[in-house]
Amino acid sequence: MTADSLREKFLGFFKAKKHKIVESDSLVPKDDPTVLFTPAGMNQFKKEFMGFDCGFKRAATAQRCLRTDDLDKVGKTSSHHTFFEMLGNFSFGDYFKEEAIVWAWEFLTKELSIHQDKLWVSVYQEDEETYKIWKDKIGIPEKKIIKLGDKDNFWPAEAKTKGPNGPCGPCSEIFYDFGPGAGCGEKICDPSCSCGRFVEIWNLVFTQFNRKDDASLEPLPNKNIDTGMGLERLAAIMQGKQNNFEAELFQPIIKEIIR
Ligand code: GLY
Residue 55 buriedness (CB in 10 A; 0-12 / 13-18 / 19+): exposed
Q: Check if the beta carbon of residue 185 is closer than 8 Å to that of residue 16.
A: no
Q: pLDDT digit string (tens) for 124-164?
A: 999 999 999 999 999 999 999 999 999 999 999 999 999 88
Residue 225: CB within 6 Å of ligand 1?
Answer: no
Supply the pLDDT for residue 180: 93
Task: Give the model's confidence band at 79: pLDDT under 50 very low, under 70 low, under 90 confident, else very high.
Answer: very high
Supply the pLDDT for residue 34: 86
Task: Give the model's confidence band at 119: pLDDT under 50 very low, under 70 low, under 90 confident, else very high.
Answer: very high
> Mean of the per-residue pLDDT values for the chain?
96
Residue 226: CB within 6 Å of ligand 1?
Answer: yes
Q: pLDDT digit string (tens) for 207-256?
A: 999 999 999 999 999 999 999 999 999 999 999 999 999 999 999 999 99
Using the predicted structure, report yes or no on whether residue 25 has a pLDDT greater than 90. yes
Supply the pLDDT for residue 87: 98
User: Ligand 1 centroid vs 24 CA: distance in angstroms?
Assistant: 15
Using the predicted structure, report yes or no on whether residue 22 has a pLDDT greater than 90. yes
**Site to substitute for ligand 1 among 151, 155, 201, most atoms within 8 A of C-beta:** 155
Which residues have a Cβ under 8 Å from the Cβ of 175 and sit 6 or more positions away? 119, 120, 121, 122, 191, 198, 199, 200, 201
